Structure 1
Amino acid sequence: MVDNQACLSRSQQKVIDLDKWQQTVDLIAELFGSACGTIVQLRQNEFNVVVASQNEDNFLSRNDSWSWDLNSFCRKIIETKKALNVQEALSDADWKLSPPVVEGKIRSYCGLPIFWPDGELFGTICIIDIKATEHSLTLIKLLEQFCRLITADLKMLRDYQEIRDLALTDELTGIHNRRGLSFLGEQRIKEARRAKQNIGFVYIDIDHLKRANDEHGHQIGDKCIITLANVLQANCRESDIIARIGGDEFIIMTYFSDEDDNEHHLEKLALRILGGYNSAVSEFDTNEITSLSYGYRAFHHEHLPILEEMIAQTDQLMYQNKNSKR
């Protein structure tokens, strides 16, 4: 899902063309003859300028910000979820003592709320001027149309992210699939080399899952898979990458910022998962439960192989553990 609190003006997303938004606010400022046309995002109790018109008398720039606590015109729009049209701020009882008017240059303001496609507020689109202004109904209708176009862009961004999440996520468990591991794992390796972090893998396989399916039906097999995914999420850090890469095979990709005994940390993690899984499946209504085989391996940041090689090496250790039980 799209993180509504992520700063759009600084994000690396390539779905929304912010140059198009820039052209929009430039056109707004020109058509309204105003000092400033801008699109503002509300995030983390702060208003952030995503784009601002580039006319000479504009006093706002991209990434300018102000606190929610400030009695601002944008805050009023967010609170009411309605348009705001202030033609002469100095003679308006609600605004003549507000900081943007008393301490700033604002004398007139016209703005509309912008919504995410699910109805949550994104921010505002605004016309701001340093002189009293009477905005015509035609121009305000045009502003409403710009607002709808921006919402359409936000929907496109959200749809793209949802499709991408589906492509990277295992449908049964909700954790990453092999494609997700590959995509995120490659990024993690680059980060580890740059930050001089060691990388660790735990490879886990559910023993006798096929036999459990044959004897008790696929429902019990799915229950084992979902149970293990839940145990992994409960025992791993939020920054760890957890993936189901086969029917009964799971991977944890983690990192270490120190030179401690990384193998020891990985062993403790694997044993916690084993204990949590065994405890959970012992409550299943069947005479036989599945067990886990696991392998773990730490890789130093100075000698990091490619992702597939690290997975393969850890996979071999898992099979050694599995074969030792036979």
Structure 2
Amino acid sequence: MTARADASIDIAAGRANRSVLSRFWERNGAGYMFLVPWLIGFFGLTLGPALISLYLSFTNFDLLREPVWVGTANYVRMVTADPKFAASMRVTFSFVLFSVPLKLCFALLVAVALNRGMRGLPLYRAVFYLPSLLGASVAIAVLWRQLFAADGLVNMFLANFGIVGPSWISNPNYSLWTLIVLSVWQFGSPMIIFLAGLRQIPADMYEAASLDGASRWRQFYKITLPLLTPVIFFNAVVQTIEAFKAFTPAFIISGGTGGPINSTLFYTLYLYQEAFAYFRMGYASALAWVLVVIVALFTGFAFLTSKFWVHYDD
């Protein structure tokens, strides 16, 4: 009797579980079916390759032979025996340090100007946003290289004033700055976001400040900037991540070498050289994970410090 009772209980529990699962699937099955393509992409194209790359970063792998486990040798080599790693870090941090603040300042300046209600605003907005769509392309990088060549358009313009311009691309004192200027020129994306944030600031706050005798500069400093800090924070984080990932302009303008004398050797360009020029895939994977850690640290630092200067509605 006891065995029969246990069997009956098990059958009843199985039916109950199937009933719960069937009800769950009836309510949520369609949603999970729509998630299947994303789940395949996430596990097959993002998480899976990332975990494989993490494993390869501890190996010696050249695409032709089986990976050989070397432990932390790749990471030790970066710090102790790779001068190009230090050079690429210096170039990349210099690029981020100058390009991101200049781009955000220029984007905010243009957004404030457009927010004054000028005629043809949609046209100006589209024209200013266009460089953000084209700036990372190979064609624009080639055009930029021609503009700043020794006989390029920039030097031709300077010659009209009796100024003999240098070869901006091949001179290590100026080559990085040409890439910084190209990055600042792509200010359209943060400008659109700044413009949307400016539209959310109540106009009556400016009217009250004007009645109190506040100048436009004081209104900008005391009203616009504090209320715009969430947008500034968002743009700063996004643009910093994008600056760390910059690759195409440095690759095209320097011809893939990072020259002259490593002055445009971006970290991503050096990673590309190690992976696809020298086929040191294990070392390149280690470089990639160091970049992931650096970006994560910068992002975490930004979120930790945001409570001191980002002002939300509450």
Query: What's the TM-score once normalised by structure 2's chain length?
Result: 0.24
> Could you say which structure has the greater relative contact order, defined with CA pairs below 8 angstroms and 6 or more residues apart?
2
Which one has the bigger helix percentage?
2
Which one has the bigger strand percentage?
1
